[in-house]
Structure 1
Amino acid sequence: MSARLEVADIFRRHGEAYRQAHHGHLGRVERRVMSAIELCRTAALGGHIEECRACGAVRVAYNSCRNRHCPKCQTAVARDWLAARASELLPVPYFHVVFTLPAEIAAVAFQNKAVVYTILFRTAAETLRTIAADPRHLGAEIGLIAVLHSWGQTLTYHPHLHCIVPGGGPSPDGSRWISCRPGFFLAVRVLSRLFRRLFLEALRVAFEAGGLQFFGSIADLAGPAAFARLLAAARRRDWVVYAKPPFGGPEQVLAYLGRYTHRVAIANSRLVSLADGKVTFRWRDYRHGRKTKLMTLKADEFIRRFLLHTLPDGFHRIRHYGFLANGRRVARLASCRQLLAVRAPETAFRAEPVTDLPSLTHPCPCCGSPMITLAVWHHGQAPPPRSAWNDSS
């Protein structure tokens, strides 16, 4: 059985040609992402050699790159993150609200990711909290988790924010829990209009402060008159805010978060083939009944689209707001449970324990017995020869 195709295979085979062809337009972040994915779980990053003393099986394990854009390196991170979230769930309906930027604003976002993504997070959260606090709609303080995605199914640039929101919150005086109506959270038309106003105002402020840059096809937006026309046109458009039906329960919320929070632009499981310099992958056509289709791109174009979705250094693409904000989450959740008259849940979703003993690694894939580390090498070092393996029996 042939090995499954990975994004790393595409980068290893066509990455150097891509770097040469786009030498003057490839940024430091993109270069680092390409290098990390190419080297992930190869001898170049270091690793260890382990042996099963029960059956004699020997295995060489290479280190992961741990880059957040790497399709192979998100499973363990997502597992640990979800373990923490499981203990924070409340026994109430949870809703999924999506905020999407229109195409002309997305073009500005691509050239100003850190600034515009920050505005997107801030204004989407403010929109939800403001409308929820209004007694005409809910009249409660809410909490939410927001996750940034920038891709569509075909890897095109499509910045949008996924928000997971408990269906209710404490009253303004903190004396009672206010629940939303069954199956309904907040009116999306009201959310859309406020989001549009808040976002465009924040974008205008950023422009006037000199915080935006414009190149290539949108270079003319550097002029105040052209930028004002952009804002005016965007103000006339309906902005897409979409609220999905509520989740069935905490398990569904966790399953959903597991799929979305640490996702990268494309999973290795969607790749079909790499042949004749072309990449074929599966995608889902949501406009035509979610039908699964195949798309084939030249390797150069596939890499270009993948790199559209790199994030600026240090940028957090998962953020918490309201009573789920990081600084006060534990105390506020305890207060919410008191209002709901429920206990904190016992975490059913647990991360695997971490051992500090370097000699004990993974169970043997053949017999399940513990495997013993024989040798270790680090990034930049050559794997040790068999004669240098440390016999720790």
Structure 2
Amino acid sequence: MIKEILSLVNLSHILNFINPFLTQQHFEYIKASINKFLLCRDIKAGFIKYTCTECGHYHTIPITCKSRLCPSCGFKYSATWTQKMINDILNIPHRHILFTIPEELRAFFSYDRTLLSKLAKAVNEVMKYQFHNMHKKIARKFKVPKSSPNYFTNSDIVHYGLITVIHTFGRDLKWNPHIHALVSLGGFTKNFTFKKLDYFHVPSIAEQ
């Protein structure tokens, strides 16, 4: 259905409209993604041919675009990624936390998309503050260097689980970069003992 829509509308008009709001690199990436999607499974764009050496019967398979824009290829990518996460993570309780940014700052992320990757790093720093009990370390009268084996105490969760996914739009499809985070309710201490964490200090998270 999306292909039909893009074929019926004036695609060049849409691209000309969004061009001023994007860097040239990002604009070219969008054009390339759309063109790849429009040629997905189009046999004129390429195909794989299997031929039986005995009877000569052959089967032709058109090449897919493997673009995230494509509902078919994007769905397969998501399914593969989900299965990989299931295989890699521990079966422990977790919490879904949503991180967003003030509306006044969202335009900066639109013009400089490299800032989006820094959002995920910022979320990790916020959660590290919680799990590593950074407020206690900051309050220490005698500071302990990070290189010291005594930097982490037995109450600190050194190894924790965090999966972040960046969304760049809200339900109304307007530009609204935010991050969905799945955070483990606990982790391992420096002695590799599992410790539960049932509570996150929301005010300190909001202050980060």
1:31 aligns with 31
Two-structure CA RMSD over aligned residues (Å) = 2.8
Deviation at 1:48, TM superposition (A): 4.5
Equivalent position of 1:178 in the other structure: 195
1:1-393 equivalence runs, <5 A: 6-18=1-13, 21-22=16-17, 25=20, 27-48=27-48, 61-114=61-114, 116-134=115-133, 139-141=156-158, 142-171=160-189, 173-181=190-198, 185-194=199-208
CA 1:155–1:135 in structure 2 vs 1: closer, same or farther (change >3 Å)? closer
Identity %: 20
Name structure 1 gaps, 5 residues minimum: 1-5, 52-57, 195-393
The 1:13/1:133 distance shift into structure 2, 3 A limit, reads: same
CA 1:49 to 1:9, structure 2 compared with 1: closer, same or farther past 3 Å?
Answer: farther
Whole-angstrom CA distance in 1 between matches of 2:18 and 2:106: 25
Could you report, residue by residue, the CA deviation over 1:110-147 in whole angstroms, capped at 9, with x for unpaired residues? 00111x21321111110011112118897312221111
Question: SS in structure 2 opposite 1:174?
Answer: coil
Contact 1:11 1:37 in 2 (8 A): no
1:59 deviates by 7.6
Rounded to whole Å, the distance in 1 between the matches of 2:18 and 2:101 is 30
Report deviation, 1:66.
0.9
* Alpha-carbon offset, residue 78 of structure 1: 2.3
Distance 1:44 1:178 in 2: 57
Return closer, same or farther for 1:7/1:122 CA change in 2, 3 Å cut-off: same
Q: Distance between the aligned counterparts of 2:91 and 2:42, measured in 1?
A: 44
Q: Which amino acid aligns with 1:18?
A: H
The structural deviation recorded for 1:100 is 0.5
Aligned-partner Cα distance in 1 for 2:84–2:182: 15
**Kept after mapping to 2: 8 A contact 1:97/1:163:** yes
SS in 1 for 2:33: helix
TM-score normalised according to structure 2 size: 0.73
Larger relative CO (CA 8 A, sep 6+): 1 or 2? 1
Residue by residue, what CA displacement relative to the aligned partner does 1:139-161 show, whole Å, maximum 9, x if unpaired?
31222111111111232111011
Unaligned runs of 5+ in 2: 52-57, 137-154
